[in-house]
């Protein structure tokens, strides 16, 4: 025979559920600071993609610079 399923969640499991639900939610400062953080969150990934594609397109310059700096280090 199966045990009847509990109708409510145990307190310890309920608090774990609340922690998991709120884990991804962080509060942003209000005012100008919050606006600047929001803009930064949008601009940063775009800059990463731009630098990545520039590095791939101009990889010969990248390796030339590494070679040059290695020569300077010797």
Give the per-residue pLDDT at 65. 80
CA distance 51 to 53: 6
- Reply yes or no on whether the pLDDT at 46 is more than 80: yes
- In terms of residue numbers, what domain contains 71? 47-74
Q: Please give the Cα distance from 72 to 63 (Å, whole number).
A: 14
**Is residue 10 situated within a structural domain?**
no
Answer yes or no: pTM beyond 0.75: no
In a domain? residue 74: yes
Decide which of 37 and 54 is more confident: 37
**Among 10-19, 29-38, 53-62, where is mean pLDDT lowest?**
10-19
Q: Which two tokens stand for residue 29?
A: 């400062």
Asked, for residue 29, whether it belongs to a domain, the answer is no
Residue 55 near residue 62 (C-beta atoms within 8 A): yes
More confident residue, 48 or 54: 48
Residue 64 above 90 pLDDT?
no
> In the chain, how many domains are there?
1
Q: Count each helix (H run) and each strand (E run) in the chain, helices first.
A: 3, 0
9, 15 Cβ separation under 8 angstroms: no
Examine residue 14 and state whether it is found in any structural domain, yes or no. Answer: no
């Amino acid at each position: 025979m199966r045990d009847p399923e509990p109708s409510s969640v145990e307190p310890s499991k309920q608090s774990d559920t609340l922690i998991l639900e709120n884990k991804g939610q962080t509060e942003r400062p209000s005012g100008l600071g919050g606006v600047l953080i929001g803009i930064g969150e949008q601009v940063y990934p775009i800059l990463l993609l731009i630098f990545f594609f520039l590095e791939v397109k101009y990889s010969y310059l990248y390796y030339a610079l590494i070679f040059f700096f290695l020569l300077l280090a010797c």
